[in-house]
Amino acid sequence: MSSIKCIIIEDEPLAAKVLKDYVSAVPFLELQGIFKDAILASEFLLHNKTDLIFLDIHLPRLKGMAFLKTLTNPPSVIVTTAYHQYAVEGFNLNVTDYLLKPIEFERFFTAVNKVKAATRRGIEEVRDFIFVYVQKRRVKIRFSEILYIESQREYIKIVTISSEYLSKMSTNEIEELLPGHIFKRIHRSFIVSINQIDSYTAEVVEIKGKPIPIGRGYKDILDKL
């Protein structure tokens, strides 16, 4: 199988070296970088994709759990810490595993094999939901329930089968996080779920009685499907 790309976020040099040595000993892991704080890691992730983060909790400037909450669509995460009291919060944030320092190689290998098994099953590729910030909460929204997304200046409105959500992000940002085979941009201000389209003309898409305009530069999108 292809290698699992990973990064280490750890401010203690000795702990970082231990993790680096462990990663080097596992053939299917590919280390992309080591970062002494979450801010530097965030800058890296703006321009690079990774499959796995080894994340310490007690970091300077931005704590590990706070950093994890900023990730809209995070990769697999293995928490590495000397403090067991954060385990429940970590698993509530869907971390793959929680390793207590000092970390034995056997325990480390068990954790990364969980990531390997998940990748083999294709979990990352078939994820059917996204978490978005709504009034300081991370809300889980399933792709199958989204009807359309509408730009509203600094916010987007996500309209689902049962509710509506306002989140402070752009249509460009949300478009990058959505599976392209399900969602299509048909207007500068609208992204629609093609599975929810009831009818369309050259000018308008209709979803559950809602007419949504097709932008001038997007008129060939639906015909190509």
Question: Domain of 22: which CATH number?
Answer: 3.40.50.2300
Structurally, how many domains does the chain consist of? Answer: 2
**136 shares a domain with 81:** no
Alpha-carbon distance of 67 to 209, in angstroms, equals 40
Q: Which tokens belong to 164? A: 């509506």
Omega within 30 of 0 (cis) for the link into 75: no
DSSP type of residue 11: S
CB atoms within 10 A of CB 21: 11
pLDDT under 70 in the chain at which residues? 1-2, 84-93, 120-127, 224-225
**9 shares a domain with 110:** yes
Picking from 66, 97, 120, the residue at the C-terminal end of a domain is 120
C-alpha neighbours within 13 Å on the C-beta side of residue 73: 18
CB atoms within 10 A of CB 9: 29
DSSP type of residue 73: S
Picking from 96, 120, 144, the residue at the C-terminal end of a domain is 120
**142 shares a domain with 102:** no
3-class secondary structure, 129: strand
- What is the pLDDT, as a whole number, of residue 24? 96
DSSP type of residue 124: T
- What is the pLDDT, as a whole number, of residue 37? 95
**114 shares a domain with 9:** yes
Alpha-carbon distance of 149 to 207, in angstroms, equals 12
**208 shares a domain with 135:** yes
Q: Which residue has the tokens 């000993």?
A: 25
Picking from 100, 120, 140, the residue at the C-terminal end of a domain is 120
Domain ranges, residue 14: 4-120
The burial class, CB within 10 Å (0-12 / 13-18 / 19+), for 223 is exposed
**44 shares a domain with 136:** no
**167 shares a domain with 111:** no
**116 shares a domain with 133:** no
Residue 32 phi, psi (nearest 5) = -95, -25
Alpha-carbon distance of 150 to 205, in angstroms, equals 13
| Cα 45 to chain centroid, rounded | 11
Smallest Cα–Cα separation from 10: which of 1, 26, 22?
22
pTM to 2 decimals? 0.55
Contacts of 167 (CB under 8 A, 6+ apart): 132, 133, 134, 155, 156, 158, 174
